[in-house]
Amino acid sequence: MIFRSPIKHCKNCGSAVIYRIPDDGDTKERAVCPACGTIHYENPLNVVGTVPHLGDRVLLCKRNIEPRWGKWTLPAGFMELGETTAEGAARETDEEAGAQFEMEDLFTVMNVARVGQVHLFYRARLLSDQFNPGHETIEARLFNEADIPWDEIAFKTVKETLQRYFADRRTGQYPVHNIDIV
């Protein structure tokens, strides 16, 4: 999780901001610049990733970065400007696992309101069992459902997505799951 640092200075002119409700009909306190009037909005961030699968197995990455160093995750990261949710998910899968894959449909949309995030995962069909993980990953490995290290999963959204993926595999139907993580 990234916790954002507070806004102390105006991004436009550098003056110290004050937190107050703007005069434009807004109802929430924002960082407002008393010098140039700039209003600074802070909004939730999207995290995008994939469930890369090959036959009965799913690809997990062992994290080489904090938070949760050494824990296992699905490839995922912050969505960037200029890309779609699917493009971001594909980019992260390439960066973190160096996998060859074909993108499939949106699978989970999960709110983590406590940290101001929305996590979106797509299914992705792996085209190879060879991986070339980047510097953020210690190891990329395929797991059968029975071998998933459930107690060593880095994030709750990853665990929830994996659980629903294996449940849906039994039916062959993969509706989008919209879940709130408390």
Q: In the complex, which residues of this chain contact its own copies (CB under 8 A)? A: 5-16, 25, 28, 38, 40-46, 78-87, 105-106, 109, 111, 113, 116, 118, 120, 135-136, 175-176, 178, 180
CB of 42 to its own copies, least distance (A): 6
For residue 44, the cross-strand partners are none
Helix (H, G, I), strand (E, B) or coil at 124: strand
| One-letter amino acid for residue 157 of the chain | T
Indicate the residue among 51 and 106 with the shorter CB distance to its own copies.
Answer: 106
40 - beta bridge partners?
31
- Burial string for 97-123 (b: 16+ CB within 10 Å, else e) reads bbbbbebbebbbebbbeeeebbbbbbb
**Beta carbon nearer to its own copies, 54 or 86:** 86
Minimum CB distance to its own copies smaller for 81 or for 146: 81
Residue 90 has φ and ψ, to the nearest 5°, of -65, -45
Closest CB 151 distance from its own copies, rounded Å: 27
Residue 86 Cβ vs its own copies, minimum distance, rounded to whole Å: 8
In angstroms, give the least distance from the CB of 169 to its own copies.
18
